[in-house]
């Protein structure tokens, strides 16, 4: 069972991709929704808003503990921000630059080579962050110039872009197979 943090942002889109892959999933709105999860998706949206809502309803300490204790977790865009910020989940050793590619109007799409996937991935960037000063234990899966935009670290996968906004489900499949260890 995969949880999709459902406080704000691109929530239904992630659930649709999981549904299409035949992966059981549920919305996570409060701490009891975390019980028995095999993995968690932290969607894109607005990281400050998502964090405020998590603190407000008690999800923040509960998720932080689970992620730091090894729960397979996939963060996209704002999810990458939360997984990286030292003051948030602090699981990826890197400096995160929020809105690193510019504001809403500088949103863009690009076909990217991503390590671990066969063939290019059409990636949608919306007020996307990037990572820099990435630690040696962080595996970089993709970059644009010097900007790191897809990584893994232990139980965590994070992308600066929105894989749930395109019909290509390879990154979700990659997460489920390599992190959650379920066959899809």
* Cβ neighbourhood burial of 52 (10 Å; 0-12, 13-18, 19+): middle
Of 15-23, 122-130, 150-158, 176-184: span binding ligand GLN (CB under 6 A) = 122-130
Binding test (CB under 6 A) with ligand GLN, winner from 53, 77, 148, 156: 77
Answer yes or no: are the C-beta atoms of 54 and 7 closer than 8 Å: yes
- What is the Cβ-side half-sphere exposure of residue 108, based on CA atoms within 13 angstroms? 11
Residue 46 sits in the site that holds ligand GLN (CB under 6 A): yes
Interaction of residue 51 with ligand GLN, rule CB under 6 A: no
Distance in angstroms (rounded) separating the CA atoms of residues 27 and 40: 10
> Given 3-state DSSP classes, what are the helix, strand and coil percentages for the chain, each rounded to the nearest 5?
30, 25, 45
179 SS3 class = coil
Annotated binding residue at 147?
no
Taking CB under 6 A as the criterion, the residue among 28, 59, 81, 165 binding ligand GLN is: 81
* 72 belongs to the binding site for ligand GLN (CB under 6 A): no
170 is in an annotated binding site: no
The Cα–Cα gap between 58 and 76 comes to: 21
Give catalytic residue positions.
Answer: 77, 162, 164
What residue ranges bind ligand GLN (CB under 6 A)? 44-47, 77-78, 81, 98-99, 126-127, 129
Annotated binding site for L-glutamine: 45-47, 98, 126-127
Annotated binding site: 45-47, 98, 126-127
């Amino acid at each position: 069972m995969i949880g999709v943090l459902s406080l704000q942002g691109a929530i239904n889109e992630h659930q649709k991709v999981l549904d299409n892959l035949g992966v059981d999933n549920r919305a996570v709105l409060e701490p009891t929704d975390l019980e028995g999860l095999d993995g968690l998706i932290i969607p894109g949206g607005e990281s400050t808003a998502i964090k405020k809502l998590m603190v407000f309803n008690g999800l923040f300490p509960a998720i932080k503990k689970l992620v730091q204790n090894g729960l397979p977790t996939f963060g996209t865009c704002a999810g990458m921000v939360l997984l990286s910020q030292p003051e948030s989940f602090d699981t990826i050793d890197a400096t995160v630059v929020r809105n690193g590619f510019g504001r809403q109007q500088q949103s863009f799409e690009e076909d990217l080579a991503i390590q671990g996937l066969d063939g290019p991935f059409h990636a949608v960037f919306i007020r996307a962050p990037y990572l820099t000063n990435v630690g040696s234990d962080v595996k970089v899966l993709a970059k644009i110039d010097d900007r790191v935009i897809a990584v893994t670290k232990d139980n965590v996968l994070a992308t600066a872009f929105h894989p749930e906004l395109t019909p290509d489900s390879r990154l979700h499949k990659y997460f489920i197979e390599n992190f959650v260890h379920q066959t899809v």
